[in-house]
Amino acid sequence: MLSATDVHLLVGLLTQASSAENVDVKLGNFIYDVASEKFRDVDITVTEPVARLEILKGIEVKKHKRPLDQSHVEQLAAKLNDMPSIKNRQIVSASGYTKEAIKKAAAHSVELLKLTDWDRDKYSFPHANFSQFESFTVRNPQFVEGPHVHFEISGGAAISNADPTAFAITDEEGKPHSSGVTSFEQFKKNVLDSATDAWANHEDFSKMPVGVAKPINETLQFTDRPHLKSGDFIGAITAAHVRGILQWQEKGSPTELKMLASETTGQLLTGCVLAELPNGNLVGITASSADRTIKFINVAVSLRNLNVIREMKLGLGK
């Protein structure tokens, strides 16, 4: 089951996959709203150079349990229409639209897109057939001892195996951190995921066979200045040390087929075969109607765990 953050990230990646190489795709971009006279967040923006000009597209992404109705579309259309720098306006729904919503979008010149299961009987690409991808068999690092995570706090303090309910992640003033992560437990999990991914990419470990164990000793530094808060105490987290013993394991992950299509025109824009790996990463292979390029996407679990996405520029593997 894709979360709201997963849908936001996946729509961004599928948009990138169907765009030209010189297009800039950003998630959580801030665009000026002339009505409120302030910058407001837009889920996805696409900046494309055209004849010495930069054309900006704004996309709002929604994952509701029910189809978006006319009031949803009306509110989103009004938001985008109050941003004159946005020339092309789109809404993406992971739950479809009501008939009234489709009419409302047409009246406001907003294109509707849908992220949904890929209906291969109705939509297809002449250059890509993903029907045989029933699972991804991948190697993943697995701890056979540990992991042991130690945090360095400003002033020389160290925290290890702390009660996660006793701490919160904040900025230097004790306010919510820019990453959107507030709980120490989630922060610790993200650190562990990042350290494991970093070690898995080391050349000596990446070439090891399945089942052979190797010690890990990884140190992570932080550039976004997270702080640990408990009561009146607020201390900067300067580093994290992760130790343990890792080995590769092989496991098959079942796939699902997703597509991004225009509700307005009926055109299939991008399709992908998607799988969730045992380590929580989302991986997929995409095909696009824009060209015959096949691209690989990988969404790290640390990104999937974000509560808020801000100013994230996307890139894709070729």
Same structural domain, 84 and 166: no
Same structural domain, 69 and 177: no
Query: What is the rounded average pLDDT for all residues in the chain?
Result: 88
Please report, as a single letter, which amino acid is at residue 13. Answer: L
Report the alpha-carbon distance of residue 196 to residue 298 in Å, rounded.
Answer: 15
- Token look-up 């000596």 returns 204
> At residue 165, does pLDDT exceed 80?
no
Same structural domain, 131 and 265: yes
> At residue 318, does pLDDT exceed 70?
no
Residue 62 falls in which region: left (phi positive, over 0), alpha (psi -120 to 50) or beta: beta
Q: What is the pLDDT of residues 112-149, one digit of tens each?
A: 999 999 887 777 788 877 777 777 777 878 899 999 99
For residue 114, what are its two tokens? Answer: 């849908």
Same structural domain, 114 and 263: yes
How big is the chain by its Cα radius of gyration, in Å?
Answer: 22
Residue 235 placed within a domain: yes
Same structural domain, 108 and 51: yes
Q: What is the pLDDT of residues 213-237, one digit of tens each?
A: 989 888 999 989 999 998 888 989 9
Report the alpha-carbon distance of residue 32 to residue 127 in Å, rounded.
Answer: 40
Q: How many domains does the chain fold into? A: 2
Q: Which domain holds residue 99?
A: 4-135+255-313
Same structural domain, 121 and 165: no
Same structural domain, 267 and 232: no
Same structural domain, 247 and 268: no
pLDDT of residue 317: 38
Segments of 233-313 assigned E as strands: 233-262, 268-276, 282-288, 294-299, 312-313
pLDDT of residue 47: 92
For residue 149, what are its two tokens? Answer: 């995570």
Report the alpha-carbon distance of residue 115 to residue 61 in Å, rounded.
Answer: 9
> pLDDT tier at 40 (50, 70, 90 boundaries)?
very high
Same structural domain, 260 and 130: yes
Percent residues over pLDDT 70 in the chain:
95
pLDDT of residue 159: 62
Lowest average pLDDT, out of 79-88, 115-124, 139-148, 296-305, goes to 115-124
pLDDT of residue 204: 81
> pLDDT tier at 158 (50, 70, 90 boundaries)?
low
Of 233, 251, 269, the residue at which a domain comes to its end is 251
- Token look-up 């702390």 returns 162
Residue 130 placed within a domain: yes
290 or 15, greater pLDDT: 15
CATH number for 81: 3.40.1350.10
115 bridge partner residues: 260
Q: What is the pLDDT of residues 98-115, one digit of tens each?
A: 999 999 999 999 999 999
Residues 221/224/228/233 CA torsion (nearest 10 deg):
120
- Between the two ends of the chain, the Cα-to-Cα distance in Å is 27
Q: What is the mean pLDDT of the segment spanning 3-32?
A: 90
DSSP 44: E
Top-ranked range on mean pLDDT: pick from 83-97, 124-138, 225-239, 268-282: 83-97
